[in-house]
A and B are shown apart, each in its own frame.
Chain A
Amino acid sequence: EAGVAQSPRYKIIEKRQSVAFWCNPISGHATLYWYQQILGQGPKLLIQFQNNGVVDDSQLPKDRFSAERLKGVDSTLKIQPAKLEDSAVYLCASSLRTGSNTGELFFGEGSRLTVL
């Protein structure tokens, strides 16, 4: 079974530039998550989708971050304009369904962003 795919793996940009990350979840997984993991910290949820609807985006900095999952499959996370503090690993995860509290999220390997 193919895992969660993310690209690019690494990205270096200047501050105030824009960047986009792509995620393709495991086939059939209804729930998709984007997490931000800053060095030395645990992952923090940015946004959670159930199919193509947003379940939780309370911690998404909406003035610069946006995400979409238009067809309920793959997803894109965009940052525009980037700030130095956005340097982090952006993790995408998917799960079969939400509401069951099973906790089994399947994570991609992440996209490491460095903002100079």
Chain B
Amino acid sequence: AQSVTQLDSHVSVSEGTPVLLRCNYSSSYSPSLFWYVQHPNKGLQLLLKYTSAATLVKGINGFEAEFKKSETSFHLTKPSAHMSDAAEYFCVVSGSRTGFQKLVFGTGTRLLVSP
């Protein structure tokens, strides 16, 4: 069985300050991990993905995440927040013994960015 836990339902930052969105995962298989972003009234968009290559993954819009197996974590970071980063962020785990990919989403973290 697989699951992800997003440790914060809301994170508030000021524009220009660092962003940290926390995610812990559980997986019976070698997992693939992803972060998706959802802007209001928009479809979900892939930010970045880890698929057993480099543990530090760079994504779009300056975001990056580090896979830490020992801590079962995949936290999302950005050095400097922008107003346009305000959105809902979902941590996602995927893995399957059948070969058919099944994505399991976390409950989401809403990022609020103030001027």
Contacts from A to B (Cβ < 8 Å): 3-4, 31, 35, 40-45, 48, 50, 55-56, 91, 93, 95, 98-110
B21-59 vs A, CB cutoff 8 Å, 1 = contact: the mask equals 000000000001010000001111110010100000000
Q: How many A-B residue pairs have CB under 8 A?
A: 70
- 8 closest cross-chain pairs (CB), A and B: A42-B105, A107-B43, A107-B44, A99-B99, A103-B34, A101-B32, A109-B43, A55-B100
Query: Contact at B103–A103, with CB atoms within 8 Å?
Result: yes
Beyond A48-B100, A50-B100, is A101–B94 a contact (Cβ under 8 Å)? yes
A-B contact pairs, 29 of them (CB 8 A): A31-B101, A35-B105, A40-B107, A40-B108, A42-B90, A42-B107, A43-B105, A44-B105, A45-B102, A45-B104, A48-B100, A50-B100, A91-B44, A93-B44, A98-B100, A99-B100, A100-B101, A101-B94, A101-B95, A101-B96, A102-B32, A103-B32, A103-B51, A104-B46, A104-B49, A105-B44, A105-B46, A106-B43, A109-B43
Bound form: Cα–Cα A97–B94 in Å: 14
Contacts of A43 in B (CB 8 A): 44, 90, 105
A110 CA to B43 CA in the complex, in Å?
7
Complex Cα spacing A102 to B82, Å: 28
Question: How many interface residues does B have (CB within 8 Å)?
Answer: 25
Contact in complex: B108, A103 (CB < 8 Å): no
Min CB gap B113→A, angstroms: 20
A residues within 8 A CB of B104? Answer: 45
Cross-chain contact of A101 among B41, B44, B46, B101 (Cβ < 8 A): B101
Q: B46–A4 contact, CB under 8 A?
A: no
